[in-house]
Structure 1
Amino acid sequence: MTDRIEKIVRDRVGEEPVCLFAYDLDRLAEHVRAVVDSLPARCRMFYAMKANSADPLLRALAPLVAGFEVASGGELDKARAVDAEAPVIFGGPAKTLAEIERALRRDVTRLHAESALELHRISEAATRLGRTVEVLLRVNLAGPFPSATLAMAGRPTQFGISEQDLPAAVAAARSLPGLRLTGFHLHSLSNNLSAEAHLELLAHYGRTVAGWEREFGLRCEVVNVGGGIGVNYADLDAQFDWASFSRGLPAVLDEFPAGVREVDFECGRYLVAACGVYAAEVLDVKRNHGVDYALVRGGTHQFRLPSSWQHSHPFTVLEVDEWTAPVPRPELREASVTVVGELCTPKDVLAREVPVERLRVGDVLVFHHAGAYGWEISHHDFLSHPHPEHVFHADAS
Structure 2
Amino acid sequence: MKAHDTLTPFEQEEHQLKIGNKTLSQIEMLVGSTPYYAYDRAILSKTVISLKETLPERISLHYAIKANPYPPLVNFMRPLVSGFDVASAKEMLLAIQSGMSPNEISFAGPGKTEDDIRAAIVAGITLHAESTTEIQRAVNIGKQLSIKPNIAIRINPAFELKASGMKMAGGAKPFGIDEEQIPGILAELDYQMLNFRGFHIYAGSQNLKVEAIIEMHQKTFALAERLVSITPVQIDYINIGGGLGIPYFAGETRLNLAPVADNLATLIAQHSSLFDIELIMELGRYLVGEAGVYVSKVVDIKASRETTYAVCDGGLHHHLANSGNFGQVIRKNYPVAVGNKMDLQSADTETVTVVGPLCTPLDIIADKVQLPALEIGDYIAVYQSGAYGASASPQSFLSQPELSEILL
Trace 1:146-185 onto structure 2 (pairs within 5 A): 146-172=162-188, 174-175=189-190, 177-185=192-200
C-alpha displacement of 1:62? 0.8
Trace 1:296-375 onto structure 2 (pairs within 5 A): 296-306=312-322, 307=324, 308-310=326-328, 311-319=332-340, 334-375=349-390
1:2 aligns with 2:11: yes
* CA separation of 1:74 and 1:236: change in aligned 2, threshold 3 A: farther
Q: Pick one of 89, 114, 139 that aligns with 2:155.
A: 139
Which stretch of the first structure deviates more once superposed, 301-310 or 51-60?
301-310
C-alpha displacement of 1:288? 2.8
C-alpha displacement of 1:360? 2.3
Using the size of structure 1 for normalisation, the TM-score is 0.88
Letter in 1 for 2:40: D
* CA separation of 1:319 and 1:26: change in aligned 2, threshold 3 A: closer
Residue 287 (structure 2) aligns with? 271
Using the size of structure 2 for normalisation, the TM-score is 0.85
1:74 aligns with 2:90: yes
C-alpha displacement of 1:258? 3.2
Trace 1:240-255 onto structure 2 (pairs within 5 A): 240-255=255-270
Which stretch of the first structure deviates more once superposed, 263-272 or 250-259?
250-259
8 A contact 1:184–1:222 mirrored in 2: yes
Taking the aligned partners of 1:144 and 1:228, their CA distance within structure 2 comes to 11
- RMSD across aligned positions (CA): 2.5
1:104 aligns with 2:113: no
Query: Unpaired segments of 5 or more residues in structure 2?
Result: 1-9, 13-17, 343-347
C-alpha displacement of 1:189? 0.5
C-alpha displacement of 1:145? 3.1
* CA separation of 1:164 and 1:18: change in aligned 2, threshold 3 A: same
Residue 238 (structure 1) aligns with? 253
Q: Secondary structure at the match of 2:373?
A: strand
Letter in 2 for 1:312: N
Taking the aligned partners of 1:373 and 1:35, their CA distance within structure 2 comes to 20
Q: Deviations over 1:107-136 (max 9, x none)?
A: 21x221100101101111222222233322
Taking the aligned partners of 1:255 and 1:337, their CA distance within structure 2 comes to 54
C-alpha displacement of 1:297? 0.8
1:42 aligns with 2:58: yes
8 A contact 1:127–1:177 mirrored in 2: no
* CA separation of 1:219 and 1:106: change in aligned 2, threshold 3 A: closer
Residue 46 (structure 2) aligns with? 30
1:383 aligns with 2:398: yes
Taking the aligned partners of 2:391 and 2:93, their CA distance within structure 1 comes to 16
C-alpha displacement of 1:90? 1.1
Q: Secondary structure at the match of 2:212?
A: helix
1:52 aligns with 2:52: no
Which stretch of the first structure deviates more once superposed, 117-126 or 307-316?
307-316
Which stretch of the first structure deviates more once superposed, 334-343 or 363-372?
334-343
1:93 aligns with 2:80: no
8 A contact 1:45–1:67 mirrored in 2: yes
Trace 1:192-211 onto structure 2 (pairs within 5 A): 192-211=207-226
* CA separation of 1:300 and 1:245: change in aligned 2, threshold 3 A: same
Residue 328 (structure 1) aligns with? none
Taking the aligned partners of 2:40 and 2:227, their CA distance within structure 1 comes to 44
Residue 142 (structure 2) aligns with? 126
Taking the aligned partners of 1:150 and 1:255, their CA distance within structure 2 comes to 29
Letter in 1 for 2:392: I
The count of residues paired between Structure 1 and Structure 2 equals 379
C-alpha displacement of 1:20? 1.3
C-alpha displacement of 1:391? 2.1
Taking the aligned partners of 1:94 and 1:317, their CA distance within structure 2 comes to 43
Which stretch of the first structure deviates more once superposed, 382-391 or 273-282?
382-391
8 A contact 2:288–2:387 mirrored in 1: yes
Taking the aligned partners of 1:218 and 1:178, their CA distance within structure 2 comes to 13
Taking the aligned partners of 2:27 and 2:38, their CA distance within structure 1 comes to 11
Taking the aligned partners of 1:361 and 1:283, their CA distance within structure 2 comes to 5
Which stretch of the first structure deviates more once superposed, 291-300 or 77-86?
77-86
Q: Secondary structure at the match of 1:360?
A: coil
Q: Secondary structure at the match of 1:294?
A: strand
Letter in 2 for 1:138: R
Taking the aligned partners of 2:41 and 2:80, their CA distance within structure 1 comes to 12
Q: Secondary structure at the match of 1:62?
A: helix
Q: Deviations over 1:88-121 (max 9, x none)?
A: 111111111111111111121x221100101101
8 A contact 1:40–1:249 mirrored in 2: yes
Which stretch of the first structure deviates more once superposed, 350-359 or 73-82?
350-359
Q: Secondary structure at the match of 2:319?
A: coil
Letter in 1 for 2:199: F
